Structure 1
Amino acid sequence: MVLTSLREISRTGVPRGWAGADNFSALLDHPELVPVIGRTIVWVAGIVAVTVALSLGLAQLLHARFPGRRLVRWALIVPWAASLVMTAIVWRWMLSYFYGITNRVLTDLGVIDSPRDWLGDPTIALLWMMWVGVFVSLPFTTYVLLAGLQTVPDEVHEAARVDGASRWRTYWSVVFPLLKPALLVATVINVINVFNSFPIIWAMTRGGPGNATDTTTTFMYKLAFVDQSVGQSAAMAVVNFLMVVVMVLLYLRAVRWKEIG
């Protein structure tokens, strides 16, 4: 990848020699680069934050004892086990302007007056795709946090009750700090997966209209296979990799991961 980013590659994929930093210069001059990077940061931060928040609640729910708990745990696996491409296509059909069930239901309920082109508006389309990203990320994150909850000894809860702590206080002051290792793993893996997520965006909007819903991953694909600029695409791949590393390192520093253990 790095080697390709420093070479001049023909449209047919034949190396023509060294290009030095020309590919990176051309990439930095691209008018869509800054909006794409900004959109990618929103995409990653939004999906990961909402996923972790919802997963904390779901993990706590699935950790409690109730009739049918095993069935609910199995059901939660479905979005994770299903094909990501098929999940995105199903949501695209549901949001279709002409025959989507979303417009039908919302119209019948009186939420909207007439059908809307959900995927035709870049802002709304991005929000819907972020929801799909949350939907498919919940199972893994929930199970990681559930595994963390199951490692918390019962004696901890009993000691908190003896000290008169409420359930809410016990969770935030005792249980949540013990969840930090699981939370660290779930967040870092989610950042990497969401950052490099391609199927959801490509299956639902192909980054359109234009480049309005592109992230760095789909933008990189378009550079290679639409613009046929393999060198710039490789340069974008290097930038993408560095951005992932920086975001993960910033997160690890923020949570002081060396103190977790």
Structure 2
Amino acid sequence: MTPDSQAPRASAPRRPAPPGHRPGRLGPLPWIAPAVLLILAVVLWPVYEMVRTSFLRISTSGFVRGSAGLDKYRKLFGEADLGHVLLATVVWTLAVVALTMLISLGLAQLFNQRFPGRRYARWALIAPWAASVLMTAIGFRWMLDRTAGVLNTAMTDLGLIDGPHDWLGNPSTAWPWMVFVAVFVSLPFTTYTLLAGLQTVPAEVYEAARVDGASPWQTYRRVTLPLLRPAFLVGVVINLINVFNSFPVIWGMTRGGPSSDTATTTVFMYQLKSTDIGESAAMSVVNFALVVLLVLAFLKASRWNREEA
């Protein structure tokens, strides 16, 4: 072997970078640019227009009549129904989310077990998810109709009631039915989210718990629930946003009536649109701020980014 063959090979000369070029600076930009543009077009621009509209005086025909300053917010906070609507929205959101998570947890645990017909039961759960939420709400409204509803007919024939009831005309009976429908349409997504979380728990963990002598309840409380926490938080946050902003269920069943007795902030905002677009936009801004605060408060209370020991 010659000395020349033992000498290290000289690396090829590198081509000098163009003046002002910074390698890797724009590397990810072509990949994230479409997503950024979509967010700007679909989220940020409507939010900007919503806030801007809340400070304008706009006629019912849509013509801008000049600046309104804070008048629309003063008018909104002077509405007699606003306090009731805000309270109803909070109760509605907490009730629907709590019931949805509780029932979904039980269904996910059931579907995680092996039993005859499990595949068909899972398919059946998709039905409320596949159907339009508005179509489902209208279907229940027809079922609860005072004169031609199947519920009144069946209960009258069975002697359970003396005569037809106006289930959706009275807020005391309309709210429970709307909560039922909202939970019904929310179950599929939440159940499958929790089911996916359950299926990520290793079987070795359960085996170790049995070896240590843990009872089924201790295993569920100390093993399953902590490992299910990420999926549970996803389900709660998504449901908080969806239920707080829910429009099709309430509008399809009662249109927020009578008056605004069964309205949430989203439905109340739509009701205001027919009389004052600027005030409706102000309600939209308040609604947007409330849902952001609600989600942030939940994430803070649940310490979602806490490191597990």
Question: TM-score under structure 2 normalisation?
Answer: 0.81
Of the three residues 261, 273, 285, the one matched with 1:238 is: 285
Residues of 1 paired with 2:69 and 2:261: CA distance? Answer: 30
> Is 1:254 aligned with 2:301?
yes
Of the three residues 186, 193, 199, the one matched with 2:248 is: 199
- The letter for the 1-side match of 2:281 is A
User: Deviations for 1:222-249, whole angstroms, at most 9, x for unmatched residues?
Assistant: 1112x2x011000000000011011111
Q: How does 1:28-47 map to 2 (within 5 A)?
A: 28-47=77-96
Residues of 2 paired with 1:260 and 1:238: CA distance? Answer: 34
Residue of structure 1 in register with 2:182 after alignment:
133
DSSP 3-state at the match of 2:57: strand
- Aligned in 2, Cα 1:77/1:116: closer, same or farther, shift over 3 Å? same
- How many residues are matched? 259
- The letter for the 2-side match of 1:102 is L
Residue of structure 1 in register with 2:150 after alignment:
101
Residues of 2 paired with 1:15 and 1:165: CA distance? Answer: 69
Residue of structure 2 in register with 1:217 after alignment:
266
Residue of structure 2 in register with 1:114 after alignment:
163
How many Å apart are 1:260 and its aligned residue?
5.7
Q: How does 1:163-202 map to 2 (within 5 A)?
A: 163-202=212-251
User: Deviations for 1:14-68, whole angstroms, at most 9, x for unmatched residues?
Assistant: 2222211111011000111111111111111110000000000000000101111
Residue of structure 2 in register with 1:7 after alignment:
56
Residues of 2 paired with 1:101 and 1:183: CA distance? Answer: 37
Q: Which has the higher contact order (CA 8 A, sep 6+)?
A: 1
Residues of 1 paired with 2:73 and 2:64: CA distance? Answer: 17
How many Å apart are 1:85 and its aligned residue?
1.2
Residue of structure 2 in register with 1:87 after alignment:
136
DSSP 3-state at the match of 2:305: helix
Share of identical aligned residues, percent?
60
Question: Which contiguous aligned blocks of 4+ residues in structure 1 show a shift greater than 6 angstroms?
Answer: none
Residues of 1 paired with 2:157 and 2:223: CA distance? Answer: 46
Question: TM-score under structure 1 normalisation?
Answer: 0.96
For structure 1, the 5+ residue unaligned runs are none
Of the three residues 53, 57, 66, the one matched with 2:102 is: 53
How many Å apart are 1:110 and its aligned residue?
4.2
**Bigger Rg, which one:** 2
- Please tell me the root mean square deviation across aligned C-alpha atoms, in Å: 1.2
Residues of 2 paired with 1:195 and 1:60: CA distance? Answer: 27
How many Å apart are 1:144 and its aligned residue?
0.3
- The letter for the 1-side match of 2:285 is V
Residues of 2 paired with 1:125 and 1:210: CA distance? Answer: 13
Whether contact under 8 Å (1:180, 1:260) holds in the other structure is: no
Residues of 1 paired with 2:221 and 2:137: CA distance? Answer: 35
Residues of 2 paired with 1:85 and 1:110: CA distance? Answer: 32
Residues of 2 paired with 1:105 and 1:140: CA distance? Answer: 31
Of the three residues 82, 104, 124, the one matched with 1:75 is: 124
How many Å apart are 1:108 and its aligned residue?
4.0
